[in-house]
Amino acid sequence: MGTKREPSRLNEHREPSESSGPIEPSRPSGPGAKRTETHSASAKRERLDGALVIALSRSYEIAHRTSRKLVAEYGITFSQFEVLEALMHKGPLTVNAIIDAVLSTGGSITVVVRNLEKLGYVARTVNPDDGRSFIVELTACGKSLIEELFPRHMKALGASLSELGDDDIETIIELLKKVGQAQSTERKIKHDQGHKP
């Protein structure tokens, strides 16, 4: 009686098991792959940064669109309105303090203040603490104008932002504070580096 031989399995085709799942394509590895991933992440962040700035700019313009028309009815520009608003809330200010309050440049604010003075809405007096600068304050006429205009501005602003709930607004404010904190940190680092012995 002969010996029973096992069939050869060398050329046997084996089907992948269903339980093994789909076969994933191999991913590139090495320094080149890392550079590609880094470039992709960087490009994505650049797109997001640009989209955010555009969204913020558009939102600002939309929120103030009605107010700009409203302010024009009073014969002043929106920049002039911002200066009057700052003086209403903070009281008499130096030009530098006004620049910080309205986030504008020195040259433009100087012109704005001068034009408001010509209109009779603000008055300038020499700063007693620094004779090289001036204190800017509202006149009675300017106070009357901004106290009438400001509530109308806030009503228009509320209508523009009506789609946002209180929680939405609080979240946006907290997120945007991070931008301001980052800028403050950067300025401090530059200041410290400039004063190293």
pLDDT digits over 86-138, tens only? 999 999 999 999 999 997 776 799 999 999 999 999 999 999 888 788 999 99
Rounded Cα gap, residues 117 and 80, in angstroms: 10
> Quick one: tokens of 186?
């950067």
- What's the predicted TM-score (pTM) here? 0.68
User: In a structure prediction context, what are the per-residue pLDDT tens digits for the chain, which is 197 residues long?
Assistant: 555 555 555 455 555 555 555 555 556 565 655 666 677 788 888 999 899 999 988 988 888 899 999 999 999 999 999 999 999 999 999 999 999 999 777 679 999 999 999 999 999 999 988 878 899 999 999 999 999 999 999 999 999 999 999 999 999 999 988 887 766 665 555 555 655 55
Residues 62/160, Cβ–Cβ less than 8 Å: yes
- Angstrom CA distances, 147 to 25, 49, 83, stand at 68, 38, 13
Tokens matching residue 98: 């006004």
Residues 68/78, Cβ–Cβ less than 8 Å: yes
- How many angstroms separate the CA atoms of 25 and 140, rounded? 76
